[in-house]
Amino acid sequence: MTSQGVSPPARLAGHAVGPGRPWPMGASLTGDGVNFAVFSANAERIELCLFSSDGRKELCRLPIIERDGDIWHIHVGGLTPGTVYGFRAYGPYAPEQGHRFNPNKLLLDPYARALEGRLKWSDALMGYKIGSPRGDLSFDTRDSAFAVPKAVVTDPSFSWGNDQPPCTPRIDTVIYEAHVKSMTQLHPGVEKGLRGSYLGLCCDPVIDHLLKLGVTAIELLPVQGFIDDRFLVARGLRNHWGYNTLAFFAPEPRYMSKGALWEFQTMVRRFHSAGIEVILDVVYNHTCEGDEWGPTLSFRGLDNASYYRLAMGGRYYVNDTGTGNTLNLTHPMVLRMVMDSLRYWVEVGHVDGFRFDLATVLGREAHGFDPNGGFFDAIRQDPVLSRVKLIAEPWDIGPGGYQLGAYPHPFQEWNDRFRDGVRRFWKGDAGMTRDLAARILGSAERFDHSGRAATSSINYVTSHDGFTLEDLVSYTVKRNFANGEDNRDGQNENHSDNLGVEGPTQDPAVLAARALRKRNLLATLMLSQGVPMILAGDEIGHSQGGNNNAYAQDNETSWIDWSKANRDLQAFVERLTALRRSLPVLRQRRFLHARLRAADGLQDVIWRRADGTVPQSEEWHDPAFRCLCVELRMQAEGGDPSPDAIFAVFNTGSSAALHLPETAPGWELLLDTTRPDLVPTGKASDMTHVPAHSVLLFRSLAGTSKGGKP
Q: What residues are annotated to the active site?
A: 357, 393
Are 480 and 487 in contact by the 8 Å Cβ rule? The answer is yes
Category of 558 on φ-ψ map: left (φ > 0), alpha (ψ -120 to 50) or beta: alpha
Distance CA 501, CA 161 (A): 54
Please say whether the dihedral angle defined by the alpha carbons of residues 207, 208, 210 and 214, taken in this order, is positive or negative: positive
The answer to whether residues 407 and 446 touch, using CB atoms and an 8 Å cutoff, is no
Q: How many whole angstroms separate alpha carbon 588 and alpha carbon 640?
A: 15
Q: What span, in angstroms and rounded, lies between the C-alpha atoms of 190 and 302?
A: 42
- What is the torsion angle, in degrees rounded to the nearest 10, for the CA atoms of residue 541, residue 544, residue 548 and residue 554? -130
C-alpha span between 26 and 37 (Å, rounded): 5
Q: Which residues pair with 72 in a beta bridge?
A: 38, 67
Q: Which amino acid is it at 225?
A: G
C-alpha–C-alpha distance, residues 570 and 208, integer Å:
13
CA dist 571 → 313, 577, 598 (Å): 59, 10, 39
CA distance 11 to 4: 19
For 9, 12, 78, the CA distances from 50, given in Å and listed in that order, are 10, 9, 13
Q: State the Cα–Cα distance between residues 294 and 326, nearest whole angstrom.
A: 13
142 φ, ψ to 5°? -75, 140
Q: Which residues, including other chains, have CB under 8 Å from residue 630's CB and lie 6 or more apart?
A: 437, 440, 605, 606, 607, 608, 647, 648
Q: How far apart are CA 91 and CA 4, in angstroms?
A: 9
Contact 665, 701 (CB under 8 A): yes
